[in-house]
Structure formats: C-alpha cells, structure tokens
C-alpha cells in the first residue's frame, strides 16, 4: 500500500464510520455591514476637529493605493489615504492561517501589456519583472503560475485547460476555431487595449457595446454549447454576470486585449494581496485606516474615526475619490448620476483542508480548478505557488458570483443566507469532484462582497454615464476600475495613476 492508497483508505474509513462527523468551524469575515448602515441612517456625529491636507485620497483599494504610489514616486508626499477598513487593499485583500496565505478577492494579474506601462513600472519596482529580453518583460519564475495552471471537471473527469474538450463535437471544435479566428482578427487590429480607454473607437467596434456577447455569438452563427459555456464562464469569472448580461465589447475586450497568446498569469499564495501588501508598506505613513468618509465637497472631506468615535473635517485642495462609483451618490456633493453603475454580488470562501482530496479520474490538481456543471467557479489552491515538495494541508479559495437574477435580489440572497447554509452550498458544490470534501475541511470563512465589481452590461462601456466619471469633477477626480467598466487590476491602477497625474499637473 503506498501513501496515496493509505490516505485514500483513511479517508474511506472516516467516511464510512463518521459521515459529517468533522466539525467545521468558521464565520463570515470582512466588511461590517453595520458601518455601512450607519452611513445611510445618518447617525454619524458632526465633525469636531479640522485639519488641512493638500491632497486627500478617499479609499485605499488598488486605485487609491496606486494614486498614492504615483504621487510618492514623483516626490509628492502631502497626501493622506482614508480607508474604511482596518487594512487597505480593497478587493485585493488577503488572509493567512497556519497553512498558507490566501486571497479574499482578486488573485492574479496577467502579464501587463505594453500599454499598461504603469503596471510594468510597478512590477519592475517590486521585482516581478527582472529585466527585458527582446523588448519583452522577463518575469521572476516564482511569481508566474506554476504548471499545471487550469483544469476543468466535466463528465466526471478532470481535463487540462478550461475550454471543454471532453465530449466536444465537431460542431464545437469548428465554432471554437472560428471564435479564435475572430479574436485573432481583433488582436491584429490592436482594437482592444488595456487600459480600455486607449482602445480604438471605430464604429464597428463601438457597435459591439450595444449587444450582449451571447446575442453577438448567436448573430455570428456560433451556437456551439461548448463555446457558449466557455464564454459564459469567462463572463462570470471576470464580470460576475452571465454572457446574456455582458456587453459584447467588454467580453471581446477580455479575449483580445492581451499582447501574447500565452495563458500565463502572475500570482501569489495571497493573490493580489501580495501587491497591495507592498504598496501599503510603501505608503504606511500616509494611510489612515478605520476612517469612514461620510461627506465630500469640492474642498473638504468629512470622516468618522471608527475607533475614536469622533468626526474630523479635512480641508483639501484636491480630492481623489477612489471608491466604487456608486458611493459618489451618497458621499459626494452634487455628484453626477450613478444609476448606470450596476454591481455584481460575490461570495468568496476560504476553506482549510487538512488533507488534499484524492486524485481521481483525469489530470492532477491545478492552480485553478473549475467545475463545469456549477454556478460557482470552482476553487483556486493557495499552496500551489509553494516551493515545498511535501504539502500535506492546503487552503482552497472558492469563488461564486451571484449572477442568477437581478443584482438586487441576488445581493439580498447573499446577505440573508446564513453561514451554515452557505457552507452546505459550498461543500455540496465541491463534493461533485471531491465526494470526501466534508471529511477534509476543518474551517470555512466566508466574505460577502455586496458590490464586488461593476457589471459591464450592454451599452455601459461607451455610455456618457461612464465617461463622465473619467473626467475631473471640479477639484475632485474619480479613480476606480468602475470607471473602466471592468474590474481589472490594471484598470484600477490606471485610474489611480491618472488621477494622481492630474494632481501633479497642477
């Protein structure tokens, strides 16, 4: 009996004798919904103190931190970042337990395109890019996702890669090839860029924004179920909504905006938490955590210190509002309309596993493990980037965009379902490929993101409603990936840096 059989036997015994016997601990973690409620109910005390800070950055997510990073890099230090949470990082926050660090949201960055020059600059500074060969960046091997990267559980087996190949018909293969050709055509035109704002605005391209990607595929006669599954998966993964709710422009942008054909991604055990950790270190003297901003005007920012329970007014010359755009309606005086911004709710769970699931049919465990017949997106293995050869325990990060019905009702479902019920949902889903999952998991922590990411629905990408937010609003500049219509690290950083540059230019 080798070790694997031994473990399998052990798992089988446990399953046989004590089904459901393992006590699973855990809780909801993260954003306190009480604080948000405080904001809406207007129970915050009036400011009793005041200060003057030349530049205030509201929000310490990737956009806000990047604005601070760009200011500091250019020798400008007179700014303060106000962050609601105890720790800055936004969607890129991460956690850590006795086994591994793990992400709570964003968990990878694709190799930055030539247009993403600030991402390249940041990655050079952080040692992610070690140099250039033939003009192309050379990445530190340890930060590129280790092989094997992705697998898909379909028809009871794990296959390599995410494009369904097991059970694919000739029609599927033909349509997938045609789709690839279409994407190659856009790539050749350099039609779609990251940052998206620099994309070509030819008429035929902008027209893509008026239909959903699902309808767009149908209109091109691409009806393969495998292709539709794959595109829908990509939409749920990147935008938190189904392909019927995603602008064809946004979806095709996702497939055609990368320079290379390589599927490589940069990742770390804690996901993009690795990046924000380093940005936080660089900006530690400029970040004020637990600061609930409740009013922003052209020259002042009022915030409530959650620990001190006092409110302060900051008089500022310039303000970078690096929060999700919908908050402008509640916080920014006379803000432009935010109705066009819709948000997808997400559930992210981190599961502590005392042993790896048994290796069953198909290819071995990858970094990203997707289940074909599921509304969730499967799981990412936090210890995948570990250099250890012997890794007995691990952490799975489970991602679930609630894309079923309207964002509002899905958000209500997200918040009204209790921890036990979510835990059962997660374990039921994971037990499809891993029937013994309940015997392996010892803890499940769950983060509920009510407004996880902006929904790039048809018509939104090139709407005036979106574009208005990309321009300065008096002495306020908005900065968030929302302004790009897609929730990407590069877009958030671009919006932050653009706002910071606007400060520097004056």
Contact call for residue 362 and another protein (CB under 8 A): no
User: Which positions ≥6 away from 257 have C-beta within 8 Å?
Assistant: 113, 192, 193, 194, 196, 199
- 17, 23, 46, 133: which one contacts another protein (CB under 8 A)? 17
Stretch that binds another protein, among 47-55, 143-151, 202-210, 374-382 (CB under 8 A): 143-151
CA distance 213 to 232: 9
Of 4 and 471, nearer to another protein (C-beta) is: 4
Q: How far is CA 137 from CA 70, 120, 123, 367, in A?
A: 21, 8, 10, 23
- 42, 135, 141, 416: which one contacts another protein (CB under 8 A)? 141
Contact call for residue 46 and another protein (CB under 8 A): no
- 42, 48, 134, 147: which one contacts another protein (CB under 8 A)? 147
Beta strand pairing call for 129-133 and 136-139? antiparallel
Contact call for residue 391 and another protein (CB under 8 A): yes
Of 12 and 54, nearer to another protein (C-beta) is: 12
Q: Which residue has the tokens 């086994």?
A: 99
Helices (H), 358-488: 407-416, 419-430, 437-440, 464-470
Contact call for residue 148 and another protein (CB under 8 A): yes
Q: How far is CA 205 from CA 78, 189, 197, 245, 360, in A?
A: 42, 11, 13, 18, 45
Residue 331 in tokens: 């916080």
- 284, 387, 418, 506: which one contacts another protein (CB under 8 A)? 387
Contact call for residue 170 and another protein (CB under 8 A): no
Cβ-based neighbour number of residue 424 at 10 Å: 12
Of 14 and 501, nearer to another protein (C-beta) is: 14
Q: What sign results for the dihedral spanned by CA atoms 255, 257, 260, 262? A: negative
Residue 146 in tokens: 């280790």
Stated as kind and residue range, the H or E segment containing 186 is helix 170-189
Bridge partner residues of 371 (DSSP): 153
Stretch that binds another protein, among 69-77, 388-396, 432-440, 455-463 (CB under 8 A): 388-396
- 2, 41, 261, 334: which one contacts another protein (CB under 8 A)? 2
- 131, 364, 418, 506: which one contacts another protein (CB under 8 A)? 364
User: Which positions ≥6 away from 57 have C-beta within 8 Å?
Assistant: 64, 67, 68, 79, 80, 81, 82, 319, 320, 322, 479
Of 195 and 433, nearer to another protein (C-beta) is: 433
Contact call for residue 389 and another protein (CB under 8 A): yes
CA distance 342 to 28: 24
Q: Find the shortest distance in angstroms from Cβ 386 to another protein.
A: 8
Stretch that binds another protein, among 8-16, 39-47, 303-311, 315-323 (CB under 8 A): 8-16
Contact call for residue 132 and another protein (CB under 8 A): no
Contact call for residue 3 and another protein (CB under 8 A): yes
Stretch that binds another protein, among 53-61, 67-75, 146-154, 398-406 (CB under 8 A): 146-154
Contact call for residue 165 and another protein (CB under 8 A): no
CA distance 446 to 380: 15
**Site mask for another protein (CB under 8 A), range 260-279, x = bound:** ----x---------------
3-state secondary structure at position 341: coil
Contact call for residue 334 and another protein (CB under 8 A): no
Residue 31 in tokens: 């954003």
Contact call for residue 127 and another protein (CB under 8 A): no
Q: Give yes or no for a contact between 370 and 152, defined as CB atoms under 8 angstroms apart.
A: yes
Contact call for residue 502 and another protein (CB under 8 A): no
Q: Find the shortest distance in angstroms from Cβ 6 to another protein.
A: 6
Contact call for residue 142 and another protein (CB under 8 A): yes
> Which positions lie near another protein, rule CB under 8 A?
1-4, 6, 9-10, 12-13, 16-17, 141-142, 144-149, 264, 364, 387-392
């Amino acid at each position: 009996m080798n070790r694997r059989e031994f473990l399998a036997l052990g798992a089988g015994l446990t399953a046989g004798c004590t089904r459901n016997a393992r006590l699973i601990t855990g809780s909801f973690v993260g954003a306190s919904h009480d604080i948000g409620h405080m904001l809406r109910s207007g129970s915050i005390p009036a400011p009793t103190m005041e200060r003057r800070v030349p530049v205030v950055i509201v929000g310490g997510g990737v956009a806000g931190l990047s604005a601070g990073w760009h200011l500091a890099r250019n020798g400008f230090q007179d700014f303060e970042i106000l962050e609601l949470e105890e720790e800055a990082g936004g969607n890129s926050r991460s956690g850590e337990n006795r086994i591994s660090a793990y992400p709570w949201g964003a968990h990878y960055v694709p190799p930055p395109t030539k247009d993403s020059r600030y991402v390249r600059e940041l990655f050079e500074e952080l040692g992610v890019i070690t140099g250039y060969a033939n003009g192309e960046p050379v990445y530190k091997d340890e930060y590129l996702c280790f092989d094997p990267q992705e697998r898909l559980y379909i028809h009871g087996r794990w296959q390599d890669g995410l494009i369904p190949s097991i059970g694919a018909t000739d029609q599927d293969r033909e349509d997938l090839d045609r789709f690839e050709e279409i994407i190659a055509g856009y790539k050749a035109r350099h039609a779609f860029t990251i940052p998206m704002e620099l994309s070509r605005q030819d008429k035929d391209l902008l027209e893509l924004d008026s239909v959903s990607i699902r309808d767009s595929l149908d209109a091109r006669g691409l009806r393969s179920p495998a292709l539709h599954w794959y595109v829908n998966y990509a939409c749920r993964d990147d935008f938190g909504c189904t392909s019927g709710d995603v602008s064809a422009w946004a979806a095709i942008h996702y497939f055609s905006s990368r320079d290379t054909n390589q599927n490589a991604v940069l990742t770390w055990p804690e996901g993009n938490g690795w990046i924000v950790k380093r940005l936080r270190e660089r900006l530690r003297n400029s970040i004020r955590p637990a600061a609930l901003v409740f009013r922003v005007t052209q020259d002042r920012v009022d915030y409530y210190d959650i620990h001190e329970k006092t409110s302060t007014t900051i008089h500022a010359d310039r303000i970078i509002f690096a929060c999700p755009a919908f908050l402008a309606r509640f916080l920014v005086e006379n803000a432009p309309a935010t109705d066009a911004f819709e948000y997808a709710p997400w559930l992210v769970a981190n599961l502590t596993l005392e042993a790896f699931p048994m290796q069953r049919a198909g290819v071995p465990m990858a970094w990203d493990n997707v289940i074909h017949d599921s509304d969730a997106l499967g799981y990412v293995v936090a210890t995948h980037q570990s250099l250890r050869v012997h890794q007995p325990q691990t952490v799975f990060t489970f991602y679930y965009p609630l894309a079923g019905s309207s964002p509002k009702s899905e958000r209500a479902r997200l918040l009204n379902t209790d921890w036990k019920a979510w835990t059962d949902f997660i374990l039921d889903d994971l037990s499809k490929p891993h029937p013994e999952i309940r015997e392996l998991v010892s803890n499940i922590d769950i983060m509920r993101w009510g407004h996880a990411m902006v929904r790039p629905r048809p018509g939104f990408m090139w709407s005036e409603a979106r574009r208005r937010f990309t321009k300065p609003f008096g002495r306020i500049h908005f900065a968030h990936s929302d302004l790009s219509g897609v929730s990407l690290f590069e877009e958030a950083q671009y919006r932050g840096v653009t706002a910071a540059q606007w400060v520097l230019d004056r």
